Amino acid sequence: MYAVVQAGGRQHKVEVGATVDVDLIDAAVGSSVELDQVLLLSGDDGVTVGQPTVEGAKVIGEVVDDVRGDKIIVFKYKPKVRYRRKTGHRQDYTRLRIKEIVTASGSFTTTDAETQTDAEAPADQEGNQ
């Protein structure tokens, strides 16, 4: 199961157990964050597209850390007037670990994802031998 959520004006595809970097949120490390703007849900029962959001759906994540993104170079240049400015920028992000996807009919948690991967693992090992 996965969901598409909107956080900080950007859309992120999230799954249970995955980590995602969203724009900086004012939350302490280890605290729980609720993202309630769920735009799309995909699971065993099909795909649900919100108009604009899916009612009763939310994504719960845990704040892992506050990180900084890669540095980008901003170079301003105007020809013939000797105007050149070189500056850099690093964006601040909050890293979230997705713990649970809650829908109107139920929820999908980390333990559900672990059992699903454990059930699939022996089949992959048999196919590789």
Closest C-alpha to 72, from 53, 47, 95, 91: 91
The Cα–Cα gap between 47 and 2 comes to 10
Q: One digit per residue, pLDDT tens: the chain, 129 residues?
A: 899 999 988 999 999 999 999 999 999 999 999 999 999 999 888 888 989 999 989 999 999 999 999 999 999 999 999 999 999 999 999 999 999 999 887 777 766 655 555 555 555 444 454
Q: 74 is in which domain, residue-wise?
A: 2-128
Structurally, how many domains does the chain consist of?
A: 1
**Cβ(108)–Cβ(99) under 8 Å?**
no
**Full-model pTM:** 0.74
Per-residue pLDDT at 103: 87
Per-residue pLDDT at 45: 81
Per-residue pLDDT at 87: 98
